[in-house]
Amino acid sequence: MSQFTTTARTTTAAARPHLIALHRAVVGLLFACHGAASLFGVLGGAYGGGSIKAGTWPGWYAAVIQLVCGSLVLLGLGTRVAALVASGSMAYAYFTVHQENALFPIQNGGESAVLFCWAFLLIAVLGPGSFTLTGREK
C-alpha cells in the first residue's frame, strides 16, 4: 500500500465517530423539528399551519415519536433504541400513508419518510458516534 492510502485510511478511521455524530445530530434535529411543528404549530406548523389535535391517530402519536426520538437521537441518549423506533415509525408512515397514492416516493410524497427511515436505521446500526450526553462512544 502506498503512503497516501495508509494516511487516508487512518484519517478516515479517526474522523468516523465524529462524522457519525454529526449525521446523528442533524437527522435528530430535523426529526425533532417535524414533531415540534406538528405538536405546537411552530416552524410553519403541521400541514402548512396549525397543530395536530391531541390524541389524533396516527398524526399526533407520530409527532410525539418525532419530537421525543429526534431529541434523544440529537443528544445521544438511548440512541440505538430511539433511532430504531423512529425508523419504524417512518416505515409505517410510508407504507400506510404514502404508498397507497403511488408506487415511488417521488410520486407519492414519501421522500422524507423514506430518507428518515433509512437515516435512522443507519444510526441504529452504527451507533451514536462521538459527542453523546452519555459519554459512551460506540
Residue 125: partners with Cβ closer than 8 Å, 6 or more residues away: none
Confidence at 136, pLDDT banded by 50, 70, 90: low
> Where does residue 131 fall: left (phi above 0), alpha (psi -120 to 50 degrees), or beta otherwise?
left
Copy the grid coordinates of residue 64. 410525539
Confidence at 45, pLDDT banded by 50, 70, 90: confident
Confidence at 4, pLDDT banded by 50, 70, 90: low
Backbone angles phi, psi at 73, to 5 degrees: -65, -45
Residue 35: partners with Cβ closer than 8 Å, 6 or more residues away: 63, 64, 65, 66, 67, 68, 70
List, for residues 56-71, the tens digit of each pLDDT value: 888 899 999 999 999 9
List, for residues 72-127, the tens digit of each pLDDT value: 999 999 999 999 999 999 999 999 999 999 989 999 999 999 999 999 999 999 99
Judge contact between 86 and 66, C-beta under 8 A: yes
- What is the reported pLDDT for 52? 86
